[in-house]
């Protein structure tokens, strides 16, 4: 097993607006038309490489682990699976992936409404019923366009790897 520090470049992309979970939320990912294989650049200039693996129904991440995507309303649920499971919401468009985070007020309200526990950390860990966790993420996705989801990070496609 690789030490956690190997995955820090990937986790650094995911720290804002994401949640650690005990188990994967997306078990069978789908390939999204807007999510191309190749190099993706963060706003800070760092890059990561993603490539679709049909056999695993997931995008492989060059730094380690896999990302499984599932449509969730107008958004996408991204589930990064490595030594830890990290989930987040994303808006996909041509050559852009916008990672989203809710306002703290909306986040707290929905976490309480779904009976979930939150353990603060660099990546907040959610605990509770897995079905409620999925409903929580679905309810967050329904808020797209309501002004309570804000951009946490943006990835721009650079080109083939």
* Domain spans, the chain: 4-159
pLDDT over 70 (residue 150): yes
DSSP single-letter state for residue 11: H
Q: Which two tokens stand for residue 132?
A: 């409620």
Q: Quote the pLDDT of residue 158.
A: 97
**pLDDT per residue over 11-48, tens digit each?**
444 445 789 999 999 999 999 999 999 999 999 999 99
Which tens digits make up the pLDDT trace of 84-119? 999 999 999 999 999 999 999 999 999 999 999 999
| Beta pairing, strands 18-21 & 124-127 | parallel
Look at the chain and count its residues: 161
Q: pLDDT value at position 138?
A: 97
pLDDT band with cut points at 50, 70 and 90 for residue 10:
very low
Q: Cα(80)–Cα(69) distance, rounded to whole angstroms? A: 9
């Amino acid at each position: 097993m690789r030490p956690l520090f190997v995955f820090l470049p990937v986790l650094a992309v995911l720290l804002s607006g994401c949640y650690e979970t005990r188990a994967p939320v997306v078990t069978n990912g789908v390939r999204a038309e807007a999510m191309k294989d190749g190099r993706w650049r963060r706003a800070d200039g760092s890059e990561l490489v993603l490539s679709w693996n049909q056999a695993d129904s997931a995008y492989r991440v060059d730094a380690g682990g896999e990302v499984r995507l599932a449509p969730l309303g107008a958004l996408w649920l991204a589930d990064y699976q490595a030594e830890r499971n990290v989930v987040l919401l994303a808006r996909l468009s041509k050559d852009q992936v916008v990672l989203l985070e809710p306002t703290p007020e909306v986040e707290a309200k929905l976490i309480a409404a779904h009976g979930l526990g939150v353990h603060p950390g660099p990546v907040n860990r959610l605990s509770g019923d897995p079905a409620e966790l999925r409903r929580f993420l679905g309810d967050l996705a329904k808020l797209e366009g309501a002004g309570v989801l804000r951009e946490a990070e943006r990835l721009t496609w650079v080109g083939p790897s």
